Amino acid sequence: MPPPSAPTPKATYHHGDLRTALLEAAVVALREGGIAGLSLRDCARRVGVSHAAPYRHFASKDLLLAAIAGQGFAWLAAAGRAAMAGQRDPQARLDAYGQAYVRFAVAHPEHFRVMFTAQIADCTEADQEVADAAFGLLRDAVAAVQAASPDAAIPDADTAAVAYWSRPHGLAMLLLDGRVPPEAWDTPQKLAALVHAALG
């Protein structure tokens, strides 16, 4: 019988849901040591499992990161949809997406950083799809605004979408990289004002 004093008593040989547990452990590890400090063996140790067990669920370290990225994109799209659901005006919907975008980044910094650091080539097709879905959501919102107010200043819908996306994305990156003093966004109000200013 295994030593009964372990934090996870290791009652069973099989873990039960190792994949999920590894993803959660990886996020904690990312929070503590950043992407460079992440190691599969450390994740395995945190979960109380041998150093090669993760390979039954992730073919490589990069694919673990890709899975985290995919999860993040799914959450981001869900957050964006939820935020837009409360708005009717196209412009208001777009701004709601931008606010949700930055709020997501601040709430899940590890996910966000992995989402935009992992090399896309290494991603699964499924992960690629959820990422594209999150962007498609924004492109549609931008297109709706363009349709509502025919400025004709920006003809290309994709260009307009990228241009708008740049704003919350850049702000989120600057916040996460510590380029903005924390006291400038330590309350939801301050953060919302900052996002509002960035969205323009």
Partner DNA sequence: GCCGTATGTTGCTGTTGTCAACATCTGGCG
Partner DNA sequence: CGCCAGATGTTGACAACAGCAACATACGGC
Interface with DNA by CB under 7 A: which residues? 10, 12-16, 18, 38-42, 44, 49-53, 55-57, 59-62
Per partner kind, with CB cut-offs from 5 to 8 A, the member of a copy of itself, DNA, none near residue 150 is none
Interface characters, 173-192, with a copy of itself (x: CB under 8 A): xx--xxxxx--x--------
Cβ neighbours of residue 89 closer than 8 Å, sequence gap 6 or more? none
Identity at 9, one-letter amino acid code: P
Does 117 contact a copy of itself by CB under 8 A? yes
Nearest CA-CA partner of 84 in 103, 97, 65, 102: 97
Give 87: exposed, middle or buried? Use CB within 10 Å, 0-12, 13-18, 19+.
middle
Nearer to DNA, 66 or 160 (CB): 66
CA atoms 112, 113, 116, 121: torsion sign: negative
Per CB under 8 A, residues contacting a copy of itself are: 34-36, 116-117, 119-120, 135, 154, 158-160, 162-174, 177-181, 184, 193-194, 197-198, 200
